[in-house]
Structure 1
Amino acid sequence: MLTPRQALLLGKVVDGFSATGQPVGSKRLAEDPEVKAGPSTVRNELAVLEERGLLAHPHTSAGRVPTDAGYRYYVDELLPAATPAHELRLELVRREVVEAMRVTTETLSQVTNLLAIVSAPPIGTTTIRHIEVLALQPQVLMVVVITSTGGVSKKLFTFDRPVDPGLADWAGSYLNEKLVGTGLGARMLHSRLADPALAASERAFVEELSPAFTELAETAEDTLYVDGAHRLLSEYRFQDVSQLNALMEMLERRVSLLGVLTAALDSRDAYVRIGRENSEPALRSLSLVAANYGLPQRNLGTVSVIGPTRMDYARAIRSVRDAAFQLSRFMEELY
C-alpha cells in the first residue's frame, strides 16, 4: 500500500498524463495546491513510486508517466473513492434490439471518445416472435421469420407444382401457433414441428418448410456493434503505426474480439484490462473497460470501450456501467 501522499501523487500523474499526453514533472506537482510538499520531497516520492514499478521515465525528461502497474493501482485503489459526475443516458424505449445495440454503441463512443463495442445477445437466447408464409408466385413461397432480437430471415421455396393458397395460409397460422416463443435450437424446433395428428399432406408441407427454422441457428452469427474508430484516431496519437494496424486487423477478425469480450461476461463489476494484462497481442498497448448486461439470472452480452492506457478511466468505467445498466433494463422489459 502507498502512503496518502504517494497515492495522491500517483493520482496526479495519472490524471495529468491522461489530460495532456505529456510526462508530469515534480515542479508542476509541487505547484498543485493539493500537494503539501516541496519539489525535493515530491522528487523523492516520485523516485519511490518509480522503484515500485508504478511510474516510469519515458526518456531523459524529468517528468514521469504511469506504467501498466501504476494504472492498475489507480483503478483498483484510487478510483473507488472517486465520484465521477458524468452520466450517460440512452434512448432505448420502443426500439428493436438491433437498434438499441447501435444506439448504445454510438452514444458510448460519443461520450468517451473511445472505440465502443457492444456484443449482441447470443443466438441461444433468441426466440421466434412471428412467422409469415407468403406466396410470391403459384409455385414459389417465401417464409419470413422475425426473432425476439429484431432479426429478420427470409427463405425461398420452389415447388414442382402450384401451392394451394389455403394450404399456405394454414401453414402460416399453424407455424405461429407451434413455434412463436420457441428458441432457435434445431432439436427443439424439429420436435415442435413433428405432429402425428396432422394429415399426411399437411405434415409433408410443414416438413418442406422446416429448413426456414431449423437452419436459423446454423447460419446465425454472434454480432458485434462497433463505433468510434475515427474518434479514437483523432483524439489520440498512435506513436506506433504497427499498434494501430494490429487494432484495425483485430476489428476485422471479429472472432478474436468476441473471445476477449467473453471473458468479461463472468465479471460482477467493471472488467478492466490494462496494457500487457490483455491476452490479445493487438491490445497489449491499449486498455479495455467492459461490463456485462442481461437478465437477473443470465448475462447476455458486454458493453465495452477500448483506448490508450492513458484513457480517462473514471469516465470510461462510469459510462460503461451506465450503458450496461440501461441495456439490462431494456432487455428485462423485452424478454
Structure 2
Amino acid sequence: MLTPRQELVLGKVVARFRETGLPVGSKNLAADPDVTFGPSTIRSELSQLEELGLLNHPHTSAGRVPTDAGHRYFVDHLLPAVVDAPPVELELVQREVDEAMRVTSETLSAVTDLLAVVTAPPVSTATVRHVEVLLLQPRTVMVVVITSAGEVAKRVLTFPQPVDPGLAAWSKEYLNERLAGIGLGARMLRARLDDPGLGPTERGFLDALRPVFDGLGEGSAGPGGGVYISGAARLMHESRASEVAHLDALLEELERRATILHVLRAALQTPDVVVRIGAENPVPALRSLTVVAAGYGPPQRKLGSVSVIGPVRMDYPQAIRAVRDVAFQLSRYVEELYENV
C-alpha cells in the first residue's frame, strides 16, 4: 500500500494523463490546489512511484505517465466512490432479445465513447412458449412459434391438397401440449414430434411442419454467435489510434469473435465488474487496451455479459459505472423474459 501522499500524487497523475494524454511533470502537479507540498517533495514521490512500477518516465519528457500497474492501483484503491454523471437508462421493455442486445451495445458505446461488446443469452436457455397453426387458405398453412426469448419464427407452407381445418386445429393443440417448455435445439424437441402412436395422417402433417422447428433458435443468438459490437470506429479515431497497439490484430479478433467471448467469460464468474488492464489481458491484441465487463442475469446464474473496450487511458469511473448500470438493467430484463424457463 502507498502512503496517503503517494496515493494523492498517483491519482493526480492518472487524472491529468487521462485528460491530456501527455506526461505529467512536478510543476504541473505543484499548481494543483490539492497538492500542498513543494516541487522537490513531488519529484521525490514521483521517483518512488516509478521505482514501484506504478509510473513510467518517457525518455522524451521530464514528466511521468501511469503504467498498467499504476492504473490497476487506481482502479483498486483510488476510484472515486461517486461519479458525477446520470445513470445509463436502457429502453428494453417489450423488445425481442436481438433488438435489446443491439440497443444495449449502441447505448453503452454512445455513453462511454468506447467500443461496447454485449453477449446474448445462449439459445439453450430459451424454450418454446406457444405455437400457432393457422389455415390461411385451403392449401396454405402458416406456423408461428414464439419462444421465451422473444423470438418469433414463422413459415408459410403450401400443401398439394386442401388441408382439413380440423387437422390444423388438432395440430395446434397437440404441439402446444407436447412442446411448451421444451428447450430450443434440444433432442427432446425433435423427439416430441416423433410419436409412433399417431395415425399416418397426423404424422404426415407433423412431418410437413417439422422444418419450422428444426431451425428454431438458430437466429436467436444474434450475429457472430451472440456477440453484439458497437463503436469499433471509436478506437480508430485519430486521437486514439496511437494509443492502441496492434489495431489490425484487434479488428481481426473482433471479426472472429470467439476470442472476445473467451475474454468476457471471466465476467460470468464474478458478482461485480471485472477490469482487465493492458498486459492483464491474455489475448495479445488486447494488451494495449482495457476491458471493463460485467455479467448479467438472474441471481442464480449469469446468462451473458456487457463490456466496454478502450485505451488504458480511459475514464475508469464512468466506464465502470456505465457497465454496472447496464448489467443491472439487463438482469431485470432477462429475469422477466425467462421467468418461465
TM-score by length of 2: 0.89
Off by >4 Å, runs of 4+ in structure 1 = 134-142, 154-159, 217-221
Worse-superposed segment, 247-256 or 226-235:
226-235
Kindly report which structure 2 residues correspond to 1:267-282, keeping only aligned pairs within 5 A, or say none. Answer: 267-282=270-285
Partners in 2 of 1:218 and 1:186 — Cα distance? 12
1:291 CA drift (Å): 0.5
Contact kept? 2:244, 2:311, Cα under 8 Å: no
How does 1:157-236 map onto structure 2 within 5 Å?
161-162=160-161, 164-166=163-165, 167-216=167-216, 221=221, 222-234=225-237, 236=239
Higher mean C-alpha deviation, range 296-305 or range 229-238: 229-238
User: Secondary structure at the residue paired with 2:240?
Assistant: coil
SS in 2 for 1:298: coil
* Residue 261 (structure 1) shift: 1.3
Task: List gaps (5 residues or longer) in structure 1.
Answer: none
Verify the 8 A CA contact 1:236 1:308 in the aligned structure 2: no
SS in 2 for 1:101: helix
Aligned residue pairs, count: 333
Residues 1-335 of structure 1 aligned to structure 2 (within 5 Å): 1-79=1-79, 82-86=81-85, 87-133=87-133, 143-154=143-154, 161-162=160-161, 164-166=163-165, 167-216=167-216, 221=221, 222-234=225-237, 236-239=239-242, 243-335=246-338
CA RMSD of aligned residues (A): 2.4
- Match of 2:302, SS state, is strand
For the 8 Å contact 2:96–2:149, the answer to whether it is kept is yes
The 2-side partners of 1:15 and 1:200 are apart by: 75
3-state DSSP of counterpart to 2:306:
strand
**Deviation of 1:179 (Å):** 1.8
User: How far does residue 173 in structure 1 lie from its aligned partner after superposition?
Assistant: 3.5
Displacement of 1:171 in angstroms is 2.1
Aligned counterparts of 2:114 and 2:329: Cα–Cα separation in 1: 19
Larger deviation: 224-233 or 130-139? 130-139
**How far, CA to CA, are the matches of 1:66 and 1:233 in structure 2?**
22
Q: Which runs of no fewer than 5 residues in structure 2 stay unpaired?
A: none
Give the TM-score, by structure 1 length: 0.90
Is the CA contact 1:113–1:235 (under 8 Å) kept in the aligned structure 2?
Answer: no
